Amino acid sequence: MAAPVALIQGASRGLGLEFCKHILKNKTPAAVIATCRDPDGAAELRGLVGRHPGRLTVLGLDVSREEDIRGAAERVREGFGRLDLIVNSSAMLHPSGKGETSLRDVTAQGIIATLTTNTVGPLVMAKYFAPLLQKGGGGFGAQLAEKARQHSGIIVNITAKVGSIGDNGLGGWYSYRMSKAALNMATRNLSIELGRSRPRVVCVSLHPGTVNTDLSRPYHRNVPQDKLFSAEHSVSRLMGIVDTLNMEKTGKAYNWDGTELPW
């Protein structure tokens, strides 16, 4: 059986970079394809290539540009022929770096930019990479005994608890909340369409908790110390969930601890 192949979108830093490290360390001999906007400026990612020769491939991909996604999918098809896992990791809180605290802060430009990266990008990724996931060998997740319910590949969209409509009791952060709520709907839609395909693809949204990354750092002051995770801890928990995924768990959102997150 060929080694599994994982693609991490948004891999130059934060959670994306940690997903690459985790899979390279713990999923031998899996191959990792890491995408980011500026591979030349991704020093840590380039260092990983040197430490894992032959297992890590870095591709330039700006998730806001459909032509970039289409081109990357073609390169993966030519170089690997299939995929077993995609993690859509890149995200922005807002172009300003701060979530809107009130309606006065909302701008059309800010909403469009946030939605483009956080929602449109992952959906367009699925459009071009789903055919490669349908050729996967099920190298990630847990296969069901019943062959008719087995999966070929997995799509993981990194969501956020603040994108849960049912859990929203504070308001604010219009662009980010809306983008993650819409991403959850995209995940649900994808799970239905790709759950009908032959072979099937598992699609889930995963909430990583509050992670010590550039995106959340301005808001750490109000986070209890035991609820602020390192990227390494968060990714370890998320990959623990990925290891349990099957077609019975598709189309849902899960917290870092495996509990289901309300839409």
User: Per-residue pLDDT tens for 186-232?
Assistant: 999 999 999 998 899 999 999 999 988 766 555 555 555 567 899 99
Segment 120-136 mean pLDDT: 97
Phi, psi of 151 (to 5 degrees): -115, 160
pLDDT at 185: 98
Question: 5-254 sits in which CATH class?
Answer: alpha beta
pLDDT class of 169 with cuts at 50, 70, 90 = very high
**What is the residue type of 155?**
I
Q: Which tokens hold the place of 3? A: 């080694």
- Report the pLDDT averaged over residues 227-249: 94
Q: pTM for this one?
A: 0.94
C-alpha angle with apex 203: 198 to 208, nearest 5 degrees? 160
Examine residue 29 and say whether the peptide bond preceding it is cis (omega within 30 degrees of 0). Answer: yes
HSE-up (13 A, CA, CB side) for residue 113: 12
Separation CA 90–CA 260 (nearest Å): 22
Pick the closest to residue 138 from 83, 79, 194 (CA basis): 83
Mean pLDDT of 171-198: 96
**What is the Cα–Cα distance from 164 to 58, expressed in whole angstroms?**
33
Both tokens assigned to 194:
């790709």
Amino acid at 30: A
Nearest to 209 by CA among 248, 255, 163: 255
Supply the pLDDT for residue 225.
57
Segment 104-129 shows an average pLDDT of 98
Q: Which of 9-13, 98-102, 142-146, 178-182 has the lowest mean pLDDT?
A: 142-146
Mean pLDDT calculated for residue range 1-21: 95
**Model confidence at 6, in pLDDT bands (50, 70, 90)?**
very high
Q: Over range 74-86, report the average pLDDT.
A: 98
Report the DSSP beta bridge partners of residue 229: 211
Terminal-residue alpha carbon distance, the chain: 37
Fill in the DSSP letter of residue 100.
Answer: -
Q: What is the mean pLDDT of the chain?
A: 93
* Residue 192: how many other CB atoms lie within 10 Å: 11
Share of the chain above pLDDT 90, in %: 87
Round to whole Å and give the CA distance between 125 and 8.
11
- Give the H or E element holding residue 24: helix 14-26
Name the β-bridge partners of 200. Answer: 151
* Residues 113-123, mean pLDDT to the nearest whole number: 98
176, 159 in Cβ contact below 8 A? no
**pLDDT the model gives residue 144:** 81
Confidence of residue 46 (pLDDT cuts 50, 70, 90): very high
Question: What is the mean predicted confidence (pLDDT) over 249-253?
Answer: 97
Distance CA 95, CA 38 (A): 18
Residue 203 identity: C
